[in-house]
Amino acid sequence: MTNLAIRKDTGRAADQQAGQKEDERVYASLAHLVRMAHQASGFSFLPRQPLHSLLAGRHAAKVRGRGLNFEEIRAYLPGDDIRSIDWKVTARTREPHIRVYTEERERPAYLVVDQRLAMFFGSRVRMKSLVAAETAALGAWRILSMGDRAGAVVFNDTEITEVRPHRSRQNVMRILQAVVDKNHALKADLEVESDPAMFIQALEHVRRRVGHDALIAVISDFDGLDEQGREILLELRQHNDVICILIHDPSAIELPASNDYVITDGELQVELKLADKRVRRRIHEAAKGRIAGVMDTLHEISIPVLPLNTVEDVAKQVLHLLGYAPGNPRGGIRRG
């Protein structure tokens, strides 16, 4: 993508959101998600990864970079690779024949983006829902720049929006707009409850749409991951390359200072006496246990997990987790 195209898209996004002054730590700006195209380099989601990447050593993945499509069987010609000989046809015709393949291009990629009310939480710098939006933007731009088709399934607590995969800047803009629409609909006083079951419905939607040899990146806090979700992810992994990007707030691992906090969902509120060691221990064990449970479940079915927190810059986290080597102009990524 050219810088001129990015500037035009950013300008249009800014015009669309003129007059909107939401807190940039809470809500995703379409203009900001467009500008993230500048950061979408130096990493890859393909199975071939640098040594220190969390995606290195993936096994049993069905996608090996770009695949090969069978084109035809034709007579052997001098100089053809003998490894391509089709021995069954050769035996039947008594003349050497080879199988001809062409490189598969424009692999479809689906970004499954969680914008449920449970994601509308952040104890420090940003909301989990915002980090998910930024991660989706980074992934969409990178997928496009690598020549693949970017698509998305964006869901909240009541509906699922799908953007079918296409290789165009316009389609990436449609993805970003769908994410922003769901993101801006989040409010603490929404008259809906966070629905863990929507996570499973979103995975079911992907299973119905995706065939094989696709990249599927699930961006969520994985609230609602149960045995049914595990089975769906396992089935998707059999024929596709699946990556799970776990968005978490530091409070899931390290609680804030020992003070009393009031937490509200916009209607009800509860006071947490974090100065009480017993309260701190129970909250910490519950939160940490959920994260560990998600990690264990995904590791059991050999799906790699990229944990992203709400404090650090999203692009820097992704580059670090995928083995970015400082000072290396290629970002330490080997081409898949």
Question: Domain holding 123: CATH number?
Answer: 3.40.50
Do 185 and 73 reside in the same domain of the chain?
no
Q: Is residue 9 assigned to a domain? A: yes
Find the farthest-apart pair of alpha carbons in the chain and give their distance in angstroms, rounded. 84
Q: How far apart are CA 113 and CA 141, in angstroms?
A: 15
Segment 265-275 mean pLDDT: 57
Q: Are residues 192 and 255 in the same domain?
A: yes
Q: Residue 195 to residues 103, 118, 198, 199: CA-CA distances in angstroms?
A: 42, 8, 6, 8
Q: Which domain holds residue 77?
A: 68-103
Percent of the chain whose pLDDT exceeds 70: 69
What confidence tens digit (pLDDT) does each residue in 15-26 have? 555 445 568 889
Domains: count for the chain: 2
Look at residue 169 in the predicted model and tell me its pLDDT: 97
Instruction: Indicate whether 214 belongs to any domain.
Output: yes
Tell me what pLDDT residue 321 has: 87
Do 210 and 110 meet the contact criterion of CB atoms below 8 Å apart?
yes
If one compares 315 and 256, the residue with the highest pLDDT of the two is 315
90 and 153 in a single domain? The answer is no
Shared domain for 175 and 136, answered yes or no, is: yes
Structure confidence by residue, pLDDT tens digits, 66-89: 556 676 888 998 878 888 899 999
Higher per-residue pLDDT: 233 or 261: 233
What pLDDT is recorded for position 257? 57
On whether the CB atoms of residues 73 and 99 are closer than 8 A, the answer is: yes
Residue 155 domain-assigned?
A: yes
Q: Label residue 277 exposed, middle or buried (CB < 10 Å: 0-12, 13-18, 19+).
A: exposed
pLDDT at res. 330: 42
**99 and 244 belong to one structural domain:** no
> Residue 333 has what pLDDT?
31
Q: Is the pLDDT assigned to residue 164 strictly greater than 90?
A: yes
Q: Do residue 222 and residue 82 come from a single domain? A: no
Q: How confident is the model at residue 329 (pLDDT cuts 50, 70, 90)?
A: very low
- Cα-based angle 137, 170, 68 (whole degrees, multiple of 5): 80
Residues 180 and 85 in one domain: no
Do residues 91 and 198 share a domain?
Answer: no
Tokens of 82: 């003998």
Residue ending a domain, choose from 49, 84, 103 = 103
Q: Is residue 332 part of a domain?
A: no
Give the mean pLDDT of 169-187: 97
- In terms of domains, do 207 and 162 share one? yes
Position 327 in a domain? no
Tens digits of residue pLDDT in 184-236: 999 877 777 778 899 999 999 999 999 888 999 999 999 999 999 999 999 99
234: CB partners within 8 A, 6+ apart: 301
Asked whether 241 and 215 are in contact (CB, 8 A), the reply is yes
Residue 123 has pLDDT above 60, yes or no: yes
Burial 188-201 (b: 16+ CB within 10 A, else e): eebeeebbbebbbe
Task: Identify whether residues 92 and 113 lie together within a single domain.
Answer: no
Question: Which pLDDT score, from 0 to 100, does residue 263 have?
Answer: 57
| pLDDT classification of 61: cutoffs 50, 70, 90 | very low
Say if 143 falls within a structural domain. yes
Q: What is the mean pLDDT of residues 158-167?
A: 96
Q: What average pLDDT score do residues 249-255 get?
A: 67
- Confidence at residue 195, expressed as pLDDT on a 0 to 100 scale: 84
* Range in 72-76, 173-177, 325-329 the model is least confident about: 325-329
Residue 73 resides in a domain? yes
| Per-residue pLDDT reduced to its tens digit, 286-321 | 555 678 889 899 999 999 999 999 999 999 999 888
Domain boundary among 45, 76, 103: 103
pTM for the structure as a whole: 0.72
85/176 same-domain check: no
pLDDT for 63: 46
pLDDT at 82: 86
Residue 137 lies in a domain: yes
Q: How many helices (H) and strands (E) does the chain have?
A: 9, 10
| Judgement on whether residues 96 and 123 belong to the same structural domain of the protein | no
Q: Kindly give the interhelix angle for 277-300 and 227-239, rounded to the nearest 10 degrees.
A: 30
CA distance 249 to 284: 12
